[in-house]
Structure 1
């Protein structure tokens, strides 16, 4: 099985880390990215085009920014759909619109190709360690047959249902992530302005009903000036909230709690933090609250660490 050629398209922040894990597991990976250096850095063989990936790989993984990019890679004149072969498996690890995923699944099915959607969670740290959580939609037998592909990159794999179920689950998870991060950022700025010891405040929150992923895993670092750079950016978080709203509308679900994260991450982007990690939303809220920072400047913090 290890002699099977894996194709990987999109070797950016997450895709590059996943590719490295696959290569380290001894798998034969052929990679394609618009930045060839990313493919080389991940240790994969360099493909000259998407068409080459389609021609040589039996299983192809995608890790792309959004559905528009996925559709361009799939449906373009030199894309995967035009060059796909019966029996191939394509796994979309992107955060994508479920409606687009379901449509592409149908197009590939006409060519005898299985199109699997696999939302990922865990961020850059989990991708680095091969410990992601995958939420997967598609044919159950195909997903089971992909165990050798998923094992080097994920510690947990959940089959959520038919095509689109994986990407839907990812959007639900990301929305809750956005809500908790934005709300916790606001609370921490309020705590700072109130003169509270922020580590002690976090101890209280993590022992009380306000506990969430951000209080447990993000802000213990952020209050000391470590924003955990390398994860989901503010722009991408905003995009994911909009995708969630689109999916909620398609499902006929009233979304009453989206205004908070939409405003918070929209503010982050508007104030120039959009290309930085979404954790920087706390600085955007701080800017609008009188120039508040939870910590000393990064330079001062680094100097303090060296003393």
Structure 2
């Protein structure tokens, strides 16, 4: 018998992943506090999260953070009683590994597998089904959900025990935050030095400074395309804080965290909190003499 699929949390990422599953020919029973998000993603609306759990076998969660995940899984009195032995819960959120491990232990008591599946690639990759997943938990459970994951992810790595997926996600996101904020600073400096920005990027991408931001973000940003729809400055800040907390638990010195914390904290303070994290370059530009990497096209010039 084919597993029935449920999805709780159909926001920016969850909605896109659900759409990929539905367009791949698999029905999804979905619940989100914003009911329009469920229908927009092509899912069958459920009256509640409990209704999703009672009618499906594999349930995906895509929620903002550990606080919300714990509120849904452990805090909702209807959640655990609605589970059935043999079900699999796949947590696609960015969460604290210690929280993930606690949830895994609680669900194991009722015979339910819990996979923590960190995501990389953002909204653009979710849109076309090319996400990368890093998964913690049972290898057998991962094998069972693999056909569903294949609708929205092209690379799936089994990282090990419960919490390993979310741990890897935090490490990756921190490097993403470092490269984005550092490249933003460099590009503002290049603009103020009157360098041709496209040529600067060509140099960086052929040299030791190359990174994801120089390859994939700034070739668009310098022309005014901020690649809307991805991780916001507030969420990037949240991820860096989670990384710092995780390193504290591991007993590892976090010597490089102050820079992205300062950059994305600045972006939040200047009103870019809910804008895509690529706008951190504008926040740095604001305090560097009102610098913009691109010049908006005037209405008269565009006609």
**Do they superpose with TM above 0.5?**
yes
| Shorter-chain TM-score range | over 0.9
Pairs within 5 Å for 1:205-220: 205-220=204-219
TM-superposed CA distance for 1:4, in Å, is 2.8
4+ residue segments displaced more than 3 Å: none
How many residue pairs were aligned? 303
Distance 2:155 2:218 in 1: 25
- Residues 52 and 257 of structure 1: CA distance in aligned 2, closer, same or farther (over 3 Å): same
- Counterpart in the other structure of 2:54: 55
TM-superposed CA distance for 1:42, in Å, is 0.4
TM-superposed CA distance for 1:211, in Å, is 0.4
SS in 2 for 1:118: strand
**Do the aligned residues in 2 keep the contact of 1:75 with 1:82 (CA within 8 Å)?**
no
Distance 1:119 1:79 in 2: 26
- Counterpart in the other structure of 1:96: 95
- Counterpart in the other structure of 2:242: 243
* TM-score normalised according to structure 2 size: 0.98
Distance 2:295 2:32 in 1: 38
Pairs within 5 Å for 1:70-85: 70-85=69-84
- Counterpart in the other structure of 1:193: 192
Instruction: Give unmatched runs, 5+ long, in structure 2.
Output: none
TM-superposed CA distance for 1:80, in Å, is 2.4
- Counterpart in the other structure of 1:160: 159
**Do the aligned residues in 2 keep the contact of 1:93 with 1:119 (CA within 8 Å)?**
yes
Distance 1:68 1:255 in 2: 23
Residue deviations 1:38-70 (CA, integer Å, cap 9, x gap): 000000000010110111110000000001111
- Residues 196 and 100 of structure 1: CA distance in aligned 2, closer, same or farther (over 3 Å): same
- Counterpart in the other structure of 2:230: 231
**Do the aligned residues in 2 keep the contact of 1:4 with 1:28 (CA within 8 Å)?**
no
Distance 2:231 2:137 in 1: 26
Instruction: Give unmatched runs, 5+ long, in structure 1.
Output: none
Pairs within 5 Å for 1:16-165: 16-165=15-164
Distance 2:300 2:96 in 1: 45
SS in 2 for 1:265: helix
TM-superposed CA distance for 1:82, in Å, is 2.9
- Residues 113 and 224 of structure 1: CA distance in aligned 2, closer, same or farther (over 3 Å): same
TM-superposed CA distance for 1:303, in Å, is 7.5
TM-superposed CA distance for 1:130, in Å, is 0.9
Distance 2:77 2:28 in 1: 20
